[in-house]
Amino acid sequence: YAILIDGWRSNIESQFTLSLTCERDDCEDFDRLPEGDLTQLSSNWVKWDNRSYLDAQVSSRQAYSRPNSVWIRTIDNNEPDVTRLFGERTHGKYKVSWKMYVPRGSNATFNVKKYSDPRRETAVATYLKSDGGIAFRAKGRITQSYQRYSQDYWMDVEMYLDLDRETTILYIDHAPVAKWSTRIVREHPHRSVNRFAGINFWAYHSFTNFYVDDVCFEQNPPNMPDYEYTPATEL
């Protein structure tokens, strides 16, 4: 980008204020969408399986940036499962961030996806439990975090991925919560491909009920955290 300010020689002094707003590469706040099935309204999102899973809902019940957010909840034992795709990436540095609201007594979860087909390999799964605890499933086992999260509150979730160094760091409300290799997967201990394609939000329990807003994706974000010196649970 370049900015040109032109003028001419004059005896008159001029003063002005120049204001610049730099936007992230790709942000989605859902505010221009009508309420209804998310994947029918936005081509950025897909269901895990079009035949057997419910859609998430664009809703005005809660929102960080009004009027809308995405609402994911279990309905009559049916579980919504949707993925925000960012394109399959095998190198480079990225930041994915979003706002998240979990009502008191509810739970939420999200996965890191390696492929644009959400049914293919899943990396780490993060569980925000109904008691405010945080857990992860990676390498076929569950790891409990010493960190907690706040309910009835719009929290910041930030994920930094450095595919060149094969590392990921997760922050919740600006506190480092976990870090892991981009090669690990959820269900077995074997290393896999170094790649990233999207974030999957889904309902896994009868108490699942949460909202997502302002989902953003940045390439080459400034101030990438250093994996080695970030104090977080290593998976």
pLDDT tens, position by position, 146-177: 999 999 999 999 999 999 999 999 999 999 99
- Does the pLDDT value for residue 10 go beyond 60? no
- The DSSP letter of residue 94 is E
pLDDT of residue 204: 87
Query: Is the confidence at residue 38, as pLDDT, over 70?
Result: yes
The answer to whether the CB of 57 falls within 8 A of the CB of 82 is no
Residue 25 confidence (pLDDT): 60
Of the candidates 99, 49, 50, 97, the residue with the CA atom closest to the CA atom of residue 70: 99
**Residue 19 above 50 pLDDT?**
no
Asked if residue 15 has pLDDT above 60, the reply is no
204: number of Cβ within 10 Å: 14
pLDDT of residue 79: 87
Residue-wise pLDDT for 52-109, tens only, equals 678 999 999 999 999 999 999 998 878 899 999 999 999 999 999 999 999 999 999 9
| pLDDT in the model for residue 75 | 86
Q: Report the percent of the chain where pLDDT is more than 90.
A: 77
Distance CA 50, CA 34 (A): 21
pLDDT band at 206; cut points 50, 70, 90: confident
Residue 156 contacts residue 150 (beta carbons within 8 Å): no
166 CB neighbour count, 10 Å cutoff: 15
pLDDT beyond 70 at 42: yes
Pick the residue with more confidence: 121 or 11? 121
The closest of 197, 27, 172 to 102, measured between CA atoms, is 172
Say if strands 154-162 and 196-202 run parallel, antiparallel, or are unpaired. unpaired
| pLDDT of 4 strictly over 90 | no
pTM of the model: 0.88
